[in-house]
Every structure is written in C-alpha cells, then in structure tokens.
Amino acid sequence: MSSSSEQSSVYDWDQVRQKMTQSVTLIMGGAQGTGKLAAQQLLELGCPVVIADLNAKRLAATAKEFASYGDDKLFTMPADATNPREVQALIAAIIAKFGKLNNVVYCAGAVRAQRPSLEVDGDEWDLIVNSNLKGAFLTEKAAIPEMIRAGGGSIVNMSSRAGRLSSLFLGIHYTVSKTGILGLTRHIATEFGSQGIRANSICPGGIIGERMTYLMSQLNREGDLEKLAKQSPLGRNVFEKDVVGAILFLLSDLSSFITGAIIDVNGGTLTV
Ligand SMILES: NC(=O)c1ccc[n+]([C@@H]2O[C@H](COP(=O)([O-])OP(=O)(O)OC[C@H]3O[C@@H](n4cnc5c(N)ncnc54)[C@H](O)[C@@H]3O)[C@@H](O)[C@H]2O)c1
C-alpha cells in the first residue's frame, strides 16, 4: 500500500502546468463562443494557441482582442475546415510558426434552428454535416502526423447532447453530425492510441453564449432558457466556462488515461 506522502505526490503540479504551457493547441472554430473562451483560458495559462476560423472578419476581431498575449503565444489564421487544401496550409503554417503541434480542439460548425427533416435539402445537409463532422476529420487527418511527430497529444471534439439523443430544435443533420463525431473520436482513440494520441468527445447541453442568444432572439424564444434551466438538477443552464473546464481537463495530463470517452456537460439533464 502506498504511504500518504506517496499519495500526496501523485500529481506534480509544476509538471502538469509545464507540459500544458509547452504544448501547442489548435482551436478550429475559435473566433467566437466556446472555442474563443478556451483559447483565452489557455493563453491566460501561458500556452501557445492557434485559432483558426472560417469567418476571417470575426477572427481578426478576436486576434485584436487577444493581441496583448503576444505574437509568441497567439497565432491566428482563417481556414475552412471542410477544405483539405486550406487545412493542410494551416498545419504547415503552424509548424513554420511554432515548430510543432500537440493538441486539437474542434469547435467549428454551422447551425440552423427549427428545421423539420422534410424541409432539409441536400445543400443544407452538406453545410451542417460537413462543417460539424467532415471538417473534424480533415483537420485531424492533417494534424495527427504532426501530433505523432511531437510525441503525442490530445484531441477534443465537440459533440452535443444532440449526439447522445437527438435535437428536434437543431434538426436531423445536426443530430447526425454530432452522433458521427462520437464515432470519429472513438475511432481515432483506438487507431492512434499506441502513438500517444488521446481523443475524447464533449457533449454539452444548450450553452448560454453567443450562438444560443442569437438563435433564441431570432425565434423570439428567450423565455425557453428559463424552462431549460429547470430541467437540470443543478438548477441552471450550461455556461461556456463549464465546457471550457472539460476542454482544459482533457488537454492536460490530469486526463492522461482517458481516451475514447464521452464527457457530458449538461448539469445532469442526461444521466446515462
Ligand atoms: N452553443 C451550444 O448551445 C452548443 C451545445 C452543444 C454543442 N455545441 C457545439 O460546441 C461547439 C462550439 O459551439 P459554439 O456555440 O461556441 O459555436 P459558435 O457558433 O459560437 O462558433 C462556431 C465557430 O465555428 C466557425 N465555423 C463554422 N464553420 C466553419 C468551418 N467550415 N471551418 C472553420 N470554422 C468554421 C464559425 O465561424 C464560428 O466562429 C460546436 O461544435 C457546437 O455544435 C454547442
């Protein structure tokens, strides 16, 4: 049996922090929302961060807002995750800038609200499924060889409560894309674990943030947020920082033996 002094030295906190601050993390879809907050918290910790996003204008505003963290820590580049050439160019630029890539957080994706399945056409299906799922595959396909070269790392993919159940609110394409993310993540965890790569999915409930505020105001459904909060045994809605906490945990060595897992961040509204 280990002594209490051995127990208390299980985590070398300096080492946990040092490993994080030496790791380069790409956040795809990080110009706003959860990805942006995750990027900021990593920068606060002193970690090098790359933020990529399809929306160049929004990305430029985020880069300006975060400029005080310094060029040596923050690199931003517009990229469409669904375009393999743009993704390859992004990974090449990261290697040119930092010399390595350790982690990927995939937060990118488009969304459409209140879309009955029979009104979804092929173009809308492609937009939602490609940005939420194909983009994750292409980004991680390009990143994994570099992550292996760097000695391994962590992939965090944003699924959703919709990936565990379904979302009549966000539609069949969203449900399918977020279910697909669980399979993609599981597969990567299994195929690349022996090369030091961990991959996990996060399934948040509806997050109080820019996206939700926009959707609810478009639909005049702001009152629904109160009802949503009451569904949680903890009595409130999910905040971006709740999800960012899970992201930071999965990027750090505190989760070093967790891979292929699904982390629910929903305040107990789904407990299986
Ligand atoms: N907001 C929620 O309530 C909620 C709930 C559960 C899961 N999620 C998931 O969490 C993730 C982050 O959510 P959020 O609310 O912060 O999202 P958001 O809509 O605020 O941000 C998504 C970002 O992805 C970018 N993007 C879209 N398509 C892209 C592409 N092809 N290539 C690169 N970037 C692209 C957008 O420009 C945007 O900046 C998403 O995957 C979302 O589906 C969100």
Q: For residue 82, what are the contacts with CB-CB under 8 A and spacing of at least 6? A: 130, 131, 134, 135, 138
Choose which CATH entry (3.20.20.70, 3.40.50.720, 3.30.470.10, 3.40.640.10) describes domain 15-48+56-265: 3.40.50.720
What integer pLDDT is reported at residue 2 of this predicted model? 45
Of residues 247, 232, 140, the one with CA closest to residue 186: 140
pLDDT in tens, 112-141: 998 999 999 999 999 999 999 999 999 999
Judge if pTM exceeds 0.85. Answer: yes
Residues with CB under 6 A from ligand 1: 28-29, 31-35, 53-55, 58, 80-82, 107-110, 131, 135, 158, 160, 204, 206-207, 209-212
| Residues 147 and 102 sit within 8 Å (Cβ to Cβ) | yes
Which atom, in ligand 1's list, is nearest to the CA of 178?
43
pLDDT in tens, 195-231: 999 999 999 999 999 898 888 888 888 788 888 899 9
123 phi/psi in degrees, rounded to 5: -65, -45
| Helix, strand, coil percent content, the chain, rounded in steps of 5 | 55, 15, 30
Active site residues: 174
Nearest CA to ligand 1 atom 20: 33
| Residue 156 CA: distances (Å) to CA of 136, 159, 223 | 10, 9, 32
Count Cβ neighbours within 10 Å for each residue of 177-189 and write b for 16 or more, e otherwise: bbbbbbebbbebb
| Residues 23 and 103 sit within 8 Å (Cβ to Cβ) | yes
Q: In whole numbers, what is the pLDDT of the chain averaged over residues?
A: 95
Distance in angstroms (rounded) separating the CA atoms of residues 255 and 261: 11
Q: What is the chain's alpha carbon radius of gyration, rounded to the nearest angstrom?
A: 19
Nearest CA to ligand 1 atom 38: 29
**Domain range annotation of the chain:** 15-48+56-265
Nearest CA to ligand 1 atom 27: 109
| Residues 107 and 28 sit within 8 Å (Cβ to Cβ) | yes
Q: What three-state secondary structure class fits 213?
A: helix
Residue range 135-161: mean pLDDT, rounded:
98
| Residues 70 and 44 sit within 8 Å (Cβ to Cβ) | no
pLDDT at 146 over 70: yes
212 phi/psi in degrees, rounded to 5: -65, -45
| Residue 26 CA: distances (Å) to CA of 102, 145, 154, 187 | 8, 14, 11, 20
Burial of 218 by CB count in 10 Å (0-12 exposed, 13-18 middle, 19+ buried)? Answer: exposed
Distance in angstroms (rounded) separating the CA atoms of residues 103 and 73: 15
Percentage of residues of the chain with pLDDT beyond 90: 87
Q: What three-state secondary structure class fits 155?
A: strand
